[in-house]
Structures are given as C-alpha cells and as structure tokens.
Chains A and B, each alone.
Chain A
Amino acid sequence: MTADTDATRETDPSARRADRRAERSTRRRFLSLGGTAGVLALAGCSAERTGDGGDGGDDGSDGSADSGGSDGESDSADDDGGDETPTLTVATYSSFIDAPSVSPGEWLKDTFESRVDAELEWVTPDNELNYYIERAASGVSVDADLYVGLTTEDLVRVDDQLDDDLFAERGDVAGFDDVRDGLRFDPFDRAVPFDTGYVSLVYDGTVTEAPETFEGLLADEHGGALIAQNPGGSSTGRSFLLHTIHRFGDGGVASDGGGETVAGTDDDPDYDYLDYWADLQANDVRVLGSWEDAYTAWSNGEAPIVVSYSTDQVFAADAGEDLQQHQIRFLNDQAYATPEGMAVFADADEPELAREFMSFMLEPEVQGEIAQRNVAFPATDTATLPEEYAELAKEPDEPVTFTYDELQGSVSEWIEAWERQYAGN
C-alpha cells in the first residue's frame, strides 16, 4: 500500500480517485477475520484462525453491515450475539476522553448509554488514525465502528494510502443539514463534522501588542517575538503554515506533487510563503516541536506571542489567570479553521448504531456540551451554548481553510519545501 505513494504522486488527483474506486471492486483483502476459531490466552499471545478469503469486509461501499454481522454471530464468546446489549466501539484521540482539565468522553458515554440500549467503548490508539490505516493496509480487521476526530488532511492521507475504503458513506444522519456551511470538508460525503477550532495568535498584552497583519510580524519591534510549532509534527504548526500559504501563495510548489498552485490573497505573485518564512526567520521566529513545547516556552516568557487556539481565554478564565496576558489576535482578521469530523468504518460491526451516535453528536444540547468540554466551537448552527462562552472563545471574521482537493497532492510538498528552506544545514 505504502509503495503506491510515490508511483501515484505523478498522476492527476481526480484520476487517482477514480483509480481507487475501480481497484476497490477488483482487489480482494489479503485476508480477513472470519470468526475467531480460538484464542490462545497464553500471556498476551493470541492465535486466530484467519478467513479463507471470504467476504469478511472486502468491499466498503455497501456499509458492510452484512459481513460485519456474520462476524459477530460466529464468535459468541466476547461479542454481542443475539439480544445482548450491543457495544459501539468508538476510536478517537486520547485528549477527547482523557485530558487533565475537561474532555467530552465521559459525558458523551454516560448520556448516550442512558438514551440508547448500547454500551459505548472508547479506544485511543497512540498513533490515532494512522493505526487504523496500518491495520487496513496489513489486512487486519479494523475492530472499531467509528472514528471521531478526522481532519481534512486525514482523509487525504487515507485516500492516498489505501486502495479499499476505510470509511463508509455517511448514510442517514439526523441533524446533518444543521452543519454550518464551509465545515463540510469531505467531498465524498463520509465524514460528518462535529466541531471546529481556529488557530490564531495568543499574546501577552502586558508585554506587547500583537500586529494585525502577517506583514506586521516582520517589523523590528516584533523581532524574536513569535513562537510557532514544527508543521511536520504539530497540527497547530501545520495550520499556521497553511494559513501563510493561503495568504501568500505557494509559488508553484504544489504543482510538483500534482497539486494545484495556490495564488494567495496578497496581490503579489512573486512573493510566496517561502519568501514570507525567510523573512520571519530573519526576524528571529522560533519554531519549536510540539504545541506543549511552544506554549511552555511562551508561558515562561521566552517570547510574547505564540501560535495557539482562539479558545485560549476559556482555559485562562477557568484557571483564574489574568486575561490581559491571554489576548487573541486574528491576523488580517482571519484564522485557520480546523474542523473535526467523524465517520463510520467500512467494516464496522454496528454501522447503524454508529450512525445513531453521529445523529446524537449533532443534537443541539450535545453540540453545546462538546464545544465546552472539548473547548472548541460547535459544527451546527443550532447548538445551545451559554452566552459567556462566546465572550471567551473568539471566532474570526473570516475563517480560512484549504479544501480536500486543494490539500491533495500538495500538503506534503508544501511542508517538505518549507523544511528544506528552514533547516538547511
């Protein structure tokens, strides 16, 4: 699977999508789990009888309800046969269920289980979605019904890497019509957005006044003032880099990877994001590793401005901190939007229950709770949120983001070009 990356990078993206769909019908899963024949409970070792090439989920387009169902029936030991309460296995990133401050996981589980006769099981593999891409690529059953926390980029990566569909079509999800325009990021209608965030600048107003434009960051008075994150390893850093590309254009970098060239909105065709970053670097910007690295350094006063989220004051108010030290700045009145979605796995055991959960996630009250507990913004325009939340969680006048088609074949090239310029040793 991974071997496909370089070979297909040359081809036109739309052709590649067509390819993927054509291949899906011809290609058979290398192997599939056709029921557990036996489990060697010996010390964490397990041996499972693999299928003889049956239809244990080789095709995702039909929602795979049938194949999944038969799977569940054949192994009665640990799964839900017959009348027992079904289990919905929801995969997500760890801070969604286990953050030191607040996280929506526990509330969602309790509320969903109180309404539906089902048990919700959270799973948080360390490498997040890549874990499921690996499973699918290795021909191992996915073992989860739903993924919560998909980004546009995740979908691009999934579709690049796998020939078979990892996710099923959205299907019938109540409340989907309430999702705000501009947040529906999946052109193939699999992912359902459930919240969004904005990457912006956070600055200490007692030390500096952050500039209002990208160009302002290049001024002498802001020399050494900004801390950002490595776009190759941190999603905040990546969003900020993408925002600069949106602003200044990519100078044709993406066309090397078969992506579309981005012109930018700065009216200067000769000045692209690499030029801007060269100027930023000359003005002593710090690009550290993770968001934690950057925020720790910023909190200790190493620099007065940091790339972070526009919800920073929610946390600050919660911790009783001086809000003057936690000011938000939207450069050019914009911020890079990072909508998060959820989608049903193609070989889910409980696809209908998963869709019920997605409908649940979009209910007005639940949307309000997710936003507050995940410290983000609702995806629907019908969410119920306390008024003071909007005072602390700031939204930009103009959210910007790249679409699936714009990111496909481009994002790796953009990051690599940036790395090569920034870290030239």
Chain B
Amino acid sequence: MKHAIETHHLSRRFRRCEAVHDLDLSVPLGTVYALLGRNGAGKSTTIKMVAGLLRPSSGSSQTLGTDSQKLRPEDWQNIGYVSENQKLYDWLTGAELAAFVARLYPRWDGDFAASLVRQLDLPMSRKVAGYSRGQRIKLALLLALAFRPRLLILDEPFSGLDPLVREELLASLLEITTQSEWSVFFATNDIEEVERLADTTGILEEGRLRVSEPLETLQARFRNVEVHGEADRLDALAKSNAICVQRENGLLRFVYTAFSSQTESEWSREMGGASLEIAPMSLKEIFVSLAKNHRDNQPSA
C-alpha cells in the first residue's frame, strides 16, 4: 500500500447538482494533502466519501487500502476524523469524554493525550457545553490524535475560528504532524493553512480537481510573466500553457503553468531585445489565477 487515500473516477450527484465529478487523486503515505477550494467546491463531499460517510454516485475510493464504503471498526482504529461541525457530548466534561473515547481504542496513548492537553491548553475538567468553538475543535483534535492514527482526515477544522485560536491550532497541528509519520488529508479554503501544513495540494473547482501535486512542484511550474514590446508573440512563448492572458498597450501579461529551468533561457533567446519579467507565484496567486481562468472560460449565461 503506497497511498493512504486513492480515488478513481469518484463522483457524487445530489439530484441535479453534481458536487464532485470524476475525481482521481491519491494521497501518498506519510504526506499531508490539502484539498483546497472555495465554498461549495465539493471538498466536504469528497471528505465524506473518502471517510465512508457518504456513498458516491459512481467511482470508488480506497482509504488505507480498504474500500471507503466498507471501512470496518479495525480500519477506524487507524483513522482520525475531525469535521468543523462534529458533534460532541455536551453533558460530559472533556476528561470524561476523553476517558470514554480512550476505551474505544486499544492503542490510545495516555501520555500523548496528556501532552496534547497541555499543548492545546484544554480545560478538561469543564463540561463540553462550556467550551468555546476553538476549544471544541481542539478537543476533537485531541480525540482524533491520541490513539496515533495512521491517517488523519480533517474537514475544514479551522473555519470560523478567530485568528489567534487558528494560529495556535495550526502551530500545534504542525508540531504534531512533523513529529510523526502520519498521513493527513484535510479540506480547507484557507491558502495559508495549505502553505503551512501541506506537502501536496489539490485544487478543487466546482467538483473538478484542477491541480493535484506537491506544493514545491506546483510553485516551481507557475510563473507570472510580463513581456514588454512583443505582445504578439505569445504563441511562440507559451504555446498552450498560458492562462489569464492580458494584452494592453504593447504589454503582455500571463501566467505560465509549465515553467522549468530551461524556460527562461529559451525565452530570452527567442525574444531578443524584448523586456521579459518572470516572477515566482505564491500559492494564493496560483489559486486565484486558476479560479480566474476557470471563471473566464465558463460559457456565459
């Protein structure tokens, strides 16, 4: 088994709306995979199908080598799951809830749980009903981590949290995941989370996976390009790999999606005296340009 998660032509339709379309992605073992997309892009639907909580309309997915729809209790011994709206038992204290959950996992690590409590600064003696939203997420994370799962699935765990709490949680999660060889598959619409946590990212647009690759290669192949004076020579430069193309007053601007080390020298040779500016892009810029390109290529209503 090389992959923690693998999907093949995974699709889910809700009546007339196709939430996820023909999704093929794989999360290698030991990596952190971020599924990035706007609200309604199909992230939660994908997560639920991968976790076996929602049946796909077609296609299949495997989680830790098992068909996601047939996950058995022993499979869940290796999977931690946290979603933004996960219910917790309000009438129990944090300690009682942790004790209850600990009995479900033979591999529950009490010491690790205690260290997580300290790290996350959780008031374990207080009833869950009195927890803030951030504390609830922290507690859910504790309950999903303390049995040392091989795969952690997080469905927008940090959405709606205030920046301070989010920062704390991100730092904690980063520390925890770097300590262990865990696979993490998480959905988010926050690019900063992806940049800080993820090894690999998949960008989901209206149920379709536009990009799925390691962050390094993604950022390496995307470039902002500006050409002064030779605005007509786009085809010669970019062929089919230019998106978000803009021309104005002899200036050509585009995003090049297949940049490599030879690209710049080839272009310099071909362009002669023309001014060529090539700038690396942040993940946010890449995401925005992909979204913009998708929007521009939509058939008008």
Co-complex (A, B): no
Interface residues of A (CB under 8 A from B): none
Interface residues of B (CB under 8 A from A): none
